[in-house]
Structure 1
């Protein structure tokens, strides 16, 4: 989803589109376009480069709005919260490398859909060879 569409949906749901929200949205969307899996701290640190006084709770609440609105999903790995695209795909959590990899798995997604399940995120913990 494009940022402009996301802004309109937020407005339609009664949220004000503040500079802080826009900054967090832009950072999250850019990271997801690059297929990164940013942590809360990654996002907070990048926002603070442009808005040094933004509070932790403000960033957290904006991420909650994005998740509740269906734009991102979050998952935990090694005590960190990661944010990811809400598009169906497989996240491989490399427990031995502390990495997160994306894998497109149309067969798995289609098999779930045939059972009436529409996956948003599928997470698999695995031991990964050198990547």
Structure 2
């Protein structure tokens, strides 16, 4: 019985790790972001900047997008922890940002969104 419980717990734990990397679920989460942002090879700036190659990119640096001074002067280089903090409450992370979004509080949806975004390099091609 103990070995069965161990296997069951291990299966649950492993399924959580797989879930953390669910880019397909992240694409669904990105549906909300599409109102303002584009991603992919043909992406263009809109209400918000293109999100291609976001992780590793300096905040306020997409050519042709008119950022707020707060965003340009934030000194942020996007990495996973910074993005997680920002997407949870954009106005708290960068006071004065133009981004009008209440925030994504669900950690699993944030995991999924990050998995989706990280697929795209700076040119919008899937890695």
Report the TM-score, using the length of structure 2 for normalisation: 0.28
The structure whose Rg is larger is 2
Bigger fraction of residues in strand: 1
Higher RCO (C-alpha under 8 Å, 6+ residues apart): 2
Report the TM-score, using the length of structure 1 for normalisation: 0.28
